[in-house]
């Protein structure tokens, strides 16, 4: 008789019997809701889910040699992946996102799943290829070595398994000889992967990936399969411009019901708030192995000193939050804004008829030209930011895309930027001014001022006059005397929730890239690398220099100090 461990765990999490992250509560509720759904074209097969659980519980832990006893969350993961099917018998979940703090057995689970697919898989019947991939060959070897150790233990006690498998350690390859299926360790070198059809692909520590090359290569090889599987497995990281963080944002939409994807399995164990790190009873949210009491004692014993040291020293907390509590943090603790503070203020707002301050950061070719509109929400005494950027093509747009790691084609298609129409590749300022005119007219905006950086303003002011623009013009020089107070005030208002903004990937990226430089008690922002764009944020701050002088009708506002 098979036992439904998956549903049992889901019920414990949803009821609160097992404490879990908000995302995992939603993931468990999703499972329970799907069991009751009459519209979902999938059913849950308890026997198939139990089969993979029993298989993994026959495998030895590579480090101890003892048979693995799966925790409830591990049964939930492997049972979900192998228990949901459609009426044709094909798997529901073709993609998975599995994330938790380090030392919680995620790689061990995946190595066991790889071995299960090699020995038990049926699609295709012959020559299945299981890829254990990562950013580096050393990282890919970790999961492979676990799979190798588990299979070696089985071969010692099972002549049948020994007879149908072959291990080639030098090639990091395991073969099932009777159907020519293989498990291979591969690194993030797309040229080595092209042409392979990985029916079951695993990307380990995906947070280290700088682009989607390996993901796209693995996925392309699966398009003709009925039961492809691509599993992303990783802790959180610092690269908030990378593909893993894009997935992290997307899974939140799926779990919240704002995006529909029935074929994506999600398990994300993380702390919901930074304050939770002070109470070890909350740590199970990001360290689900704490479900097992003896392992909870061990994890608390090992993590607690690291947390105390980081808190006492006031440094290194980012590393603790990422690795021990699976929370995304920016690479530099000098970051101007915590991106989580920024992102929580993203919302829609009706800008029609609002008073607006326009910030203009011009470039000629290499950087972006950006316009930002700081609207006044006079009802709530808040600011609302919208933005648009212009992209030069000098030197070739494709090269710029690869250098900046930004898909300007797609962003232009989505309406977040405009690509220059000049054959020279430099920014066409007529396009910039046309955009401002159209935006102001379409939304019936009451323009209070245009605030601009004097660099590269050549001829633009004259063109504004020729167009009959009679707005107040403010030159914003890039120096602490002008920018320090507004820059600090803007940051504080973001934290307090008094600066809201539209969804805008280029403005988001600028916030992620900006670091704060403190010089002589003045704050300025800059970027670490040339290709890291902060222009949309700079144009926002230019507008805010004058916007934050605005006095709401019933309050007195302190004016900035200009030296």
384-407 pLDDT per residue, tens: 999 999 998 887 888 888 888 888
Listed range (55-69, 199-213, 488-502, 518-532) with the worst mean pLDDT: 518-532
Q: What pLDDT band is residue 304 in, cutting at 50, 70 and 90?
A: confident
pLDDT at 189 exceeding the cut of 50: yes
Listed range (208-217, 251-260, 524-533) with the worst mean pLDDT: 524-533
Contact 227, 242 (CB under 8 A): no
Q: Which CATH class is domain 339-547?
A: alpha beta
| Over residues 55-59, mean pLDDT | 89
Q: What pLDDT band is residue 240 in, cutting at 50, 70 and 90?
A: confident
Listed range (126-130, 446-450, 537-541) with the worst mean pLDDT: 126-130
Q: What's the chain's Rg over C-alpha atoms?
A: 27
Report the mean per-residue pLDDT for the chain.
87
Highest mean pLDDT among 26-30, 253-257, 361-365, 518-522: 26-30
User: Which pLDDT does position 25 carry in this prediction?
Assistant: 98
For residues 558 and 453, the model is more confident at 453
Instruction: Give 55-70+90-268's CATH code, choosing from 2.60.40.1180, 3.40.50.300, 1.10.510.10, 3.90.1150.10.
Output: 3.40.50.300
pLDDT exceeding 70 applies to what percent of the chain?
A: 93
Strand runs (DSSP E) across 47-196, as ranges? Answer: 84-85, 95-99, 129-134, 165-168, 173-176, 181-187
Residue whose structure tokens are 């498990």: 183
User: Which pLDDT does position 267 carry in this prediction?
Assistant: 97
Strands 446-452 and 473-475: parallel
Q: What pLDDT band is residue 188 in, cutting at 50, 70 and 90?
A: low
Other Cβ atoms less than 10 A from the Cβ of 88: the count is: 7
What is the phi-psi region of residue 214: left when phi exceeds 0, alpha when psi lies from -120 to 50, beta otherwise? alpha
Q: Where are the domains of the chain?
A: 55-70+90-268, 274-323, 339-547
User: Which pLDDT does position 411 carry in this prediction?
Assistant: 93
Assess whether the region 55-70+90-268 and the region 339-547 belong to the same CATH fold.
no
pLDDT at 527 exceeding the cut of 80: no
What is the phi-psi region of residue 347: left when phi exceeds 0, alpha when psi lies from -120 to 50, beta otherwise? beta
pLDDT at 555 exceeding the cut of 80: no
User: Which pLDDT does position 383 carry in this prediction?
Assistant: 96
535-547 and 480-496 helices, crossing angle to 10° = 90
Q: Is the peptide bond before 73 cis (omega within 30 degrees of 0)?
A: no
User: Which pLDDT does position 562 carry in this prediction?
Assistant: 38
What does the longest C-alpha to C-alpha distance in the chain come to? 88
Contact 18, 284 (CB under 8 A): yes
106-120 and 46-56 helices, crossing angle to 10° = 110
Looking at the DSSP bridge assignments, the partners of residue 418 are 390
pLDDT at 493 exceeding the cut of 90: yes
pLDDT exceeding 90 applies to what percent of the chain?
A: 48
Q: What pLDDT band is residue 560 in, cutting at 50, 70 and 90?
A: very low
Sheet strand arrangement including 200-204: 165-168, 173-176, 181-187, 129-134, 200-204, 229-234, 95-99, 264-268
For residues 326 and 223, the model is more confident at 326
pLDDT at 190 exceeding the cut of 70: no
Q: What pLDDT band is residue 191 in, cutting at 50, 70 and 90?
A: low
Report the distance separating Cα 160 and Cα 390, nearest Å.
64
Q: What pLDDT band is residue 244 in, cutting at 50, 70 and 90?
A: very high
Q: Give which of 203, 264, 208 is closest to 236, Cα–Cα.
A: 208
Task: Kindly state the tokens that stand for 269.
Answer: 């164990």
238-265 burial, b for 16+ CB within 10 Å, e for fewer? Answer: bbbbbbbbebbebbbebbeeeeeebebb
User: Which pLDDT does position 332 carry in this prediction?
Assistant: 63
Q: What pLDDT band is residue 252 in, cutting at 50, 70 and 90?
A: very high
């Amino acid at each position: 008789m098979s036992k439904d461990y998956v549903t049992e765990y889901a019920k414990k999490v949803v009821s609160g019997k097992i404490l879990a992250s908000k995302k995992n509560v939603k993931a468990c509720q999703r499972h329970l809701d799907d069991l009751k759904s009459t519209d979902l074209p999938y059913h849950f097969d308890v026997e198939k889910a139990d089969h993979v659980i029993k298989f993994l519980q026959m495998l030895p832990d590579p480090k101890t040699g003892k048979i693995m006893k799966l925790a409830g969350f591990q049964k939930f993961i492997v049972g979900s992946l192998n228990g949901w099917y459609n009426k044709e018998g094909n798997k529901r979940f073709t993609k998975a996102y599995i994330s938790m703090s380090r030392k919680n057995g995620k790689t061990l689970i995946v190595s066991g799943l790889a071995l299960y697919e090699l020995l038990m898989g049926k699609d295709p019947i012959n020559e299945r290829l299981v890829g254990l991939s990562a950013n580096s060959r050393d990282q890919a070897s970790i999961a492979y070595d676990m799979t190798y150790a588990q299979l070696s233990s089985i071969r010692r006690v099972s002549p049948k398994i020994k007879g149908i498998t072959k291990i080639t350690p030098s090639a990091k390859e395991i073969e099932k000889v009777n159907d020519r299926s293989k498990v291979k360790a591969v690194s993030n070198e797309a040229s080595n992967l092209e042409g392979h059809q990985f029916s079951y692909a695993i990307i380990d520590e995906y947070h280290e990936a700088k682009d989607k090359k390996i993901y796209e290569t693995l996925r392309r090889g699966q398009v003709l399969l009925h039961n492809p599987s691509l599993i992303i497995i990783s802790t959180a990281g610092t690269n908030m411009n990378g593909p893993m963080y894009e997935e992290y944002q997307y899974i939140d939409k799926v779990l919240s019901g704002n995006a529909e994807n029935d074929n994506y399995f999600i398990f994300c164990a993380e702390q919901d708030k930074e304050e939770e790190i002070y109470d070890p009873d909350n740590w199970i949210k990001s360290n689900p192995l704490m479900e097992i009491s003896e392992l909870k004692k061990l994890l608390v014993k090992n993590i607690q000193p690291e947390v105390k040291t980081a808190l006492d020293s006031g440094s290194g907390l980012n590393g603790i939050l990422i690795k021990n509590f699976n929370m995304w943090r920016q690479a530099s603790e000098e970051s101007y804004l915590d991106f989580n503070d920024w992102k929580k203020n993203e919302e829609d707002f009706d800008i029609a008829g609002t008073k607006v301050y326009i910030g203009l950061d011009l470039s000629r070719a290499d950087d972006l030209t950006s316009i930002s509109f700081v609207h006044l929400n006079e009802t709530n005494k808040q600011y609302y930011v919208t933005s648009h950027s212009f992209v030069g093509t000098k030197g070739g747009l494709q090269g710029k895309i690869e250098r900046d790691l930004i898909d300007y084609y797609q962003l232009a298609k989505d309406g977040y930027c405009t690509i220059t129409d000049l054959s020279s590749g430099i920014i066409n300022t007529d396009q910039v001014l046309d955009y401002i005119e159209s935006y102001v007219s379409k939304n019936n905006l009451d323009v209070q001022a245009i605030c601009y950086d004097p660099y590269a303003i050549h001829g633009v002011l004259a063109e504004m006059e020729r167009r009959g623009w009679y707005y107040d013009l403010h030159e914003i020089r890039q120096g602490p005397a002008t920018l320090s107070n507004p820059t600090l005030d803007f940051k504080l208002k973001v934290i307090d929730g008094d600066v809201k903004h539209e969804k805008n990937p280029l403005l988001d990226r600028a916030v992620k890239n900006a670091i704060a430089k403190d010089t002589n008690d003045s704050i300025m922002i800059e970027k670490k690398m040339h290709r890291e764009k902060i222009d949309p944020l700079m144009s926002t701050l230019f507008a805010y220099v004058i916007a934050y002088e605005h006095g709401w009708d019933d309050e007195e506002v302190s004016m900035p100090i200009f030296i």
